[in-house]
């Protein structure tokens, strides 16, 4: 097996390009752009934080092909009159399949889609998370261009460090559908560290604790003289402030919770979110969801949130173990994400690492600011270097339903790995290649990415044919797999797009045979 670390691609250095940074968050979305030597947030509808909400009205859209969608603050306004016409947390469904945990735990009704993925019902129409995100980003693009007074075509978009390949590919596809040329999919903790490193001038080994609305990431970065080197990363794409909101709402409503409609539960979660935010700087707050009203103390919130906060440290311990680092080895801890404003979180982080965490930059803004810095770097050039890693191992199925990794987690990207396989039977004329992502030895515990069949192998004795399988992981963490039979030179290539565990016939449609 060979492993080749590739140099980053040469980026566009056209100084006339205007590139933006987009923090596409579960709860809020922010946009930044470089102004002279510093990133600056762009107001969207006169506010810096645009709710990551999508709603629909009963009338048809202008092209009469679907419901009239509204986004951000307009969608938020519908919550008071038509909460059943608003969906949230779309980010949690990116790249999800109908049988996935993401679909089963999503707060809105999820439907299977003909693509093999999932969809949400907007009026009489089923739209996939990729389609909805594309509409959302298209609306955002229009708002940004109105604010700036000129077109914008290029963007760096932030994603959770622990996003799987399907979710990364779905995010890129949505942005391209919205009219963006995606310069980079940048992990959120790395983006935050970039903002701190360039704005605050910090250097050394730092941990980034990122607890957002729907996801949690923890990354270790070494920062020195303009080089940002991600050492290890981990997280949970189904763990965030949304879960704490729901736990608090369930606690406050007690036995009334199960009988609520999905729209009523959404409203209750929003009330709980407000209470959670108030309790970050007050000892008491009132949870009001007519006819229910409760006084909630900070201790009550701690009771509801403790389990979720404890889960974040399972991820933290795994990352430290992977990097062979002890908590006291870190020079500092950076807090990212609105949920880190909770005193419970700040106290837990400080206690675990034995030092006060950094939050001098607004935890809601810092990811977007870093994205703006990287957008300038990739469109106009910069004097810093960003080195990232892949969060999960990638490999194929071998005999005995066993997972054989070709690229292991925390390998620096971009990277190319190659391994040679052979046939198990005489005159075997085909070889199935099943691509998976995960950390378990058995394939059933990992995520299936794609499956294709290498056909028309030469008739040779068992163990004679040589099929060279190559994995190429680009700077955005998106995978391309190729296989070549050394005797004939026959080659097949598949770019891993969201396939949701396609059947063999479905996966064959993705093949480019040469």
Active site amino acids = 23, 91, 188, 210
Tokens of 16: 């006339």
Q: Are 228 and 221 spatial neighbours (Cβ–Cβ below 8 Å)?
A: yes
What is d(CA 142, CA 69) in angstroms, rounded to the nearest whole number? 14
Burial class (CB in 10 A: 0-12, 13-18, 19+), 310: exposed
Kindly report the number of other CB atoms within 10 A of residue 84's CB atom: 15
The neighbouring-strand residues paired with 86 are 55
The secondary structure of 234-279 as a DSSP string is: EEETT-SHHHHHHHHHHHHHGGGGGGS-HHHHHHHHHHHHHHHHHT
Residue with tokens 């889609």: 113
- The verdict on whether omega for the bond into residue 58 sits within 30 degrees of 0, i.e. cis, is no
Which residues lie below 8 Å from residue 500, measured CB to CB, with a gap of 6+? Answer: 95, 96, 97, 98, 115, 116, 117, 166
Which residues lie below 8 Å from residue 46, measured CB to CB, with a gap of 6+? Answer: none
What is d(CA 392, CA 106) in angstroms, rounded to the nearest whole number? 23
Tokens of 162: 């622990």
Tokens of 399: 């005999």
Detail the DSSP E strand segments found in 255-409: 284-289, 292-297, 332-336, 385-389, 394-398, 402-407
Closest to 392 (Cα-Cα) out of 418, 410, 365: 410
What is d(CA 157, CA 488) in angstroms, rounded to the nearest whole number? 42
Enumerate the H helices of 43-164 as residue ranges.
Answer: 73-78, 101-105, 129-148
The secondary structure of 9-47 as a DSSP string is: PPPP--TT--EEEEEE-SSEEEEEEEETTEEEEPPBTTB
What is d(CA 433, CA 468) in angstroms, rounded to the nearest whole number? 11
Phi first, then psi: what are they for 389, rounded to 5°? -130, 165
Closest to 94 (Cα-Cα) out of 440, 476, 500, 480: 500
Length of the chain: 514
The neighbouring-strand residues paired with 395 are 405, 436
């Amino acid at each position: 097996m060979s492993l080749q670390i590739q140099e980053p691609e040469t980026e566009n250095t056209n100084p006339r390009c205007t590139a933006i940074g987009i923090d596409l968050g579960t709860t809020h979305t922010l946009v930044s752009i470089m102004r002279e030597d510093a990133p600056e947030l762009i107001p969207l509808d006169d506010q810096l934080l645009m709710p990551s909400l999508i709603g629909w009205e009963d009338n048809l859209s202008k092209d009469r092909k679907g419901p009239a969608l509204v986004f951000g603050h307009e969608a938020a306004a519908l919550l008071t009159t038509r909460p059943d016409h608003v969906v949230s947390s779309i980010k949690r469904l990116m790249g999800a399949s109908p049988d996935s945990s993401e679909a089963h735990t999503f707060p809105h009704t999820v439907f299977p889609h003909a693509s093999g993925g999932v969809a949400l019902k907007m009026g009489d129409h089923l739209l996939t998370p990729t389609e909805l995100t594309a509409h959302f980003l298209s609306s955002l693009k229009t708002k940004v261009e109105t604010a700036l007074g000129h077109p914008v075509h290029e963007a760096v978009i932030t994603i959770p460090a622990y996003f799987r390949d399907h979710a990364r590919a779905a995010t890129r596809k949505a942005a391209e559908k919205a009219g963006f040329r995606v310069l980079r999919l940048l992990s959120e903790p790395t983006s935050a560290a970039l903002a701190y490193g360039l704005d605050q001038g910090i250097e050394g080994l730092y941990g980034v604790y990122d607890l957002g609305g729907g996801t949690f990431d923890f990354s270790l970065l070494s920062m020195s003289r303009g080089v940002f080197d991600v050492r290890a990363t981990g997280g949970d794409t189904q763990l965030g402030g949304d879960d704490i909101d729901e736990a608090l709402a369930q606690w406050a409503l007690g036995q009334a919770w199960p009988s609520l409609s999905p729209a009523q539960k959404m409203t209750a979660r929003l009330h709980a979110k407000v209470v959670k935010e108030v309790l970050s700087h007050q000892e008491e707050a009132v949870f009001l969801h007519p006819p229910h009203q409760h006084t909630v103390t900070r201790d009550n919130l701690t009771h509801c949130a403790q389990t979720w906060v404890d889960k974040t440290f399972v991820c933290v311990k795994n990352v430290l173990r992977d990097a062979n680092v002890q908590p006291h080895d870190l020079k500092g801890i950076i807090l990212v994400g609105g949920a880190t404003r909770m005193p419970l979180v700040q106290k837990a982080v400080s206690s675990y690492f034995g030092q006060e965490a950094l939050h001098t930059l607004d935890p809601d803004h810092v990811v977007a600011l870093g994205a703006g810095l990287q957008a300038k770097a990739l469109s106009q050039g910069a004097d810093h270097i960003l080195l990232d890693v892949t969060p999960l191992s990638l490999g194929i199925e071998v005999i005995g339903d066993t997972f054989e990794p070709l690229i292991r987690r925390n390998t620096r990207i971009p990277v190319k790995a190659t391994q040679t396989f052979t046939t198990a039977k005489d005159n075997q004329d085909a070889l199935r290649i099943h691509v998976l992502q995960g950390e378990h030895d058995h394939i059933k515990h990992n995520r299936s990415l794609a499956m294709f069949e290498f056909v028309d192998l030469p008739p040779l004795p068992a163990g004679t044919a040589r099929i060279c399988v190559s994995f190429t992981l680009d700077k955005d963490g998106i995978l391309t797999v190729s296989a070549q039979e050394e005797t004939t030179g026959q080659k097949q290539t598949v770019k891993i797009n969201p396939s949701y565990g396609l059947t063999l016939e479905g996966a064959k449609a993705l093949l480019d045979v040469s």
